[in-house]
Amino acid sequence: MRPNKTKALLRSYASNKYLIVMFMPGFLLFLLFHYVPMYGILIAFKDFKITEGILGSPWAGFKHFRYLFTGEGFTDALRNTIIIALLKYLFAFPAPIVLALLLNEVRQSWLRRSVQTITYLPHFFSWVILGGILFTFLGRDGGFNRILSYFGVKPVSWLIEPSYFYGLIVATDIWQSVGWGSIVYFAALAGDRSHLVRGRNRGRRQPAEENLAHHAACPRAYDYHYAAAVDRPFPVRRIRSGVQSDDRYHLEGRRYSRYVRAAQTAVDEL
């Protein structure tokens, strides 16, 4: 590195010394909890003995990996992992967005808040508690089978039958996470409600109230998901009216942090 560049770099560090001091604690914590634990990866290649420690244990090479990949249950575990991941992507991923869009169309505030509260609650329960609720409700003598018995349906072992396995996994994941996942999407939609669409020309026809979900709510939910994923401001989106193809409406671009604050406000109001 040239001397001039070195001096310029040192001057830059000196002029930003307070920012560097503020940065260092977070940087050190990141190293401590993200990179230092990677030292434990060595256990996968050793016959670990607790009395000898990680470094003192003898090397095993790929012995444990061969045992894993040639085991009897590996193909079943791999197939279940792929199938469950695909099912969650198809059903659990869009569920919060769909719930937010539905809640955005509810005009009775008491009904909207009641649904929000009910759907948020499972997020605050541990899986141990949720598992107990599911076992009580879906057991052979559980509440769901008792309801079915009133209609003449024989009891079903929902938690034992293999054919219900994938459905229960996906359904319980949606039940536990859909309410909490919809908070930010709903906040993004509710934040734009008062000024959803503004026509460039006041003489142009504005989209009908029942078409707002199609023309503005759905694009806004997509905009939030995109902006939150790539950590950038909301893009300005042009929206075509469903009545006249040449009528264009635009949503004002705003940083997605505004909707994160709105989401925090929504949580505080619970």
Mean pLDDT along residues 105-125: 89
Mean pLDDT along residues 204-213: 48
Phi and psi at 59, nearest 5°, equal -70, 140
pLDDT at 258: 53
CB 96 within 8 A of CB 250: no
Q: Which of 117, 164, 126 is nearest to 144 (CA)?
A: 164
Q: Residue 81's pLDDT band (boundaries 50, 70, 90)?
A: very high
Mean pLDDT along residues 136-147: 85
Question: Which domains are delineated in the chain?
Answer: 74-268 (1.10.3720.10)
Task: Tell me what the pLDDT averaged over the chain comes to.
Answer: 76
Give the pLDDT confidence of 10-23 residue by residue, as tens digits.
Answer: 888 888 889 999 99
Q: What is the largest CA-CA distance in the chain?
A: 88
pLDDT at 265: 59
Q: What size, in residues, is the chain?
A: 270
Is the per-residue pLDDT at 242 higher than 80? no
Pairwise CA distance, residues 170 & 128, whole Å: 17
CB 170 within 8 A of CB 88: yes
Please tell me which residue, 229 or 144, carries the higher pLDDT value: 144
pLDDT at 8: 85
Strands 198-199 and 248-250, by their bridges, are antiparallel
Mean pLDDT along residues 48-76: 88
SS3 breakdown of the chain: % helix, strand, coil, rounded to 5?
70, 5, 25
Q: Residue 205's pLDDT band (boundaries 50, 70, 90)?
A: very low
Is the per-residue pLDDT at 170 higher than 90? yes
Mean pLDDT along residues 162-173: 90
Is the per-residue pLDDT at 142 higher than 80? yes
Distance from the Cα of residue 263 to its chain's centroid: 14
